[in-house]
Amino acid sequence: MIKITRKAVVIGMMMLFFTILVLSGILTKGTPNKPDTLQYLNGWETKAADKAEESYFSKNKQSYILEMSHELSNNMYGKVISFRTNDSYVDAFLLTSDGQSEKIYHFGELLRFGDSPGTYTHFIDMPDSGSGRILIRIETAYKNKFLTEYDVAIGSKNELIYGYLRTEAASVIPNILLIIFGLILLIIYIVSVGMHRPVPEALSLSILTIIFTIYANCPLFTNQYIFQNALTQYYLNYFTLYLSPLLAILYFEDIVPELNMKWLFCGLCTLSAALTVLHFTGIATYTRTIKIYIAALGLFALISFVMIAAKFKKMTFLNKIALITMLFFMLINTLFFIFVSTLGNQSFLAKIGLLLYIFIAIANGLNKLMEGFFKEREAELLHEIAYTDNLTQLGNRYALERDVQKMPLESVSIVSLDLNYLKYTNDTFGHSGGDVLLKAAAACISSVYDKVYRVGGDEFIALMEQTDHTLLDSFADNLQKKIMQFNEDRTNFEAFAEHEDFVLSIAAGYASHQTNDISYEQIMNRADEKMYAVKKRIHAENGRIPIQKGAGNHQS
């Protein structure tokens, strides 16, 4: 019950975060991107500027401003200049020689919560002609995100976009592989459920992989190219980071026997909620809350390693090595984020560890599918052996007892049938002849009744969920007609068809539920009595040698 509750919490958080992402895309409007080796524009004049009255931050809020200017030149006309900023507002102005100023570009919507308009790669169109200067003003509230200069690329929009995408290919390809692996794991889980042998760790690892990949793609231009909205990317990065360790906990509990990480799960949920409140109320910045959370993840990796090490003795050797490797890479990635850089591809080490691990996870998942397939086939064969008569392929006595228990007693009718002259057939034609006669009897009875069972050497039972005697009599009459038909065309008698004394004869009697019956055995006993009465009459009329005349009869 606890595990189900925690899964419900994760699903609820995912729905909440998705809602926030949709709202962030609706309520804000990012700068649209419609843009082969990147070429850079040199000769920029840069200076740190004082905070102006039109600052995007309140007067008591420290902000950092950089102004970049460049004289318009022939190689700039009709081109696009591009650069990347982190958590910064950007404005671009065209300053004419007569002192006029025209704003030609702006990025960053004023936020109700927080100080970051997001990380973005800007594309600024240059005029087709004219003179003057281009002035770019960049303002941020984060000292660690403030740069004194930027590399500014120049070219057509398509050239710039393809240049950025090609530059990020090394980072994007692992993300694509992770998504593909995540989908493969999801397919493995769906197939395992269809086989009634679910592999729960395939589902939890699949979702974890997809969510982590979304987070890993957030710092890349590729993500901007897809969403074209900085704020959406901003919160996508924020919330997928919160979800990843929660999903990891569910996965660890699926693969490590008796592992209980409830307290760790609740602690991370509480921390996520507290940091979200601090961010949206403006008490702490996005960068500060993320750094706190990343530090918590480092501790989480260490605690997880200790807890798993104490419990995973039953895991395979390869799984142990893979899990240790993944946790090691995640820990190193955490230390890199805290002490080295919060910019760029922040999760490349964790991706390496996850890729190494997921290879083994897919192999294990496929192995479990194969084991499940063979076990299911083995179970089917055992079930078939246990409930099927080998000679006639009808249900046996165990199948009869199983099926009759599923029927309402008051609607049960039982037809008791006995094959006549089986001993004579065995003595005259050998046991192969007896087997042919038994198979012919099974085919004949099954052509009339739906549920037929061989419960003894020459004994058969037919079950009916019907107590209307008129209908039951019509079935019995149909059986006699079928017996006569089998004896006339003789195709079911195989190699013994030419022998006139090789005859199908079946005695039948049926009984239905009566008011005082409390078990199906009482109905069975009455049906047997009627069948034996018919059997006696047949032998009295025909003697011990079978003849076609009077080969079958019944009694109700």
Task: Indicate the fold that domain 397-555 takes in CATH.
Answer: Alpha-Beta Plaits (3.30.70)
Identify any residues that bridge with 91 across adjacent strands, giving them in sequence order.
106, 137
Average pLDDT, the chain: 81
Give 283's pLDDT tier (boundaries 50, 70, 90): confident
Instruction: Say which CATH architecture domain 39-155 belongs to.
Output: Sandwich (2.60)
In 3D space, the residue among 140, 117, 119, 136 whose CA is nearest the CA of residue 61 turns out to be 140
DSSP tag of 343: S
* 8 Å CB contact between 298 and 335: yes
d(CA 118, CA 303): 32
pLDDT class of 365 with cuts at 50, 70, 90:
low
- Nearest-angstrom CA–CA distance, 178 and 43: 42
Q: Which band of pLDDT confidence, cut at 50, 70 and 90, is reported for residue 339?
A: low
Is 112 in contact with 142 (CB distance < 8 Å)?
A: no
E strands of 459-534, at which residues? Answer: 459-464, 506-512
**Mean pLDDT calculated for residue range 269-287:** 82
For 144-178, write each residue's pLDDT tens digit. 778 888 999 999 988 888 888 888 887 788 888 88
Pick from 551, 534, 426: which is nearest to 481 by CA? 551
What number of other Cβ atoms are within 10 A of residue 33's Cβ? 20
The residue extents of the domains of the chain are: 2-28+169-375, 39-155, 397-555
First vs last C-alpha separation in the chain: 56
pLDDT category at 474 given cuts 50, 70, 90 is: very high
Residue 367, both tokens: 């192995």
pLDDT at 105: 92
Q: Which tokens hold the place of 153?
A: 């690329």
**Which pLDDT value is given to residue 398?**
87
Rounded Cα gap, residues 520 and 136, in angstroms: 92
Look up residue 104 and give its DSSP letter: E
Q: Sort 292 into a burial class: Cβ within 10 Å, 0-12 / 13-18 / 19+.
A: middle
Check: pTM over 0.85? Answer yes or no: no
d(CA 107, CA 86): 12
The burial of 549, by beta-carbon neighbours within 10 Å (0-12 exposed, 13-18 middle, 19 or more buried), is given as exposed
Sign for the CA dihedral angle at 139, 144, 150, 151 comes to: negative
Q: What is the pLDDT of residues 116-148, one digit of tens each?
A: 787 889 999 999 988 889 999 999 888 877 888
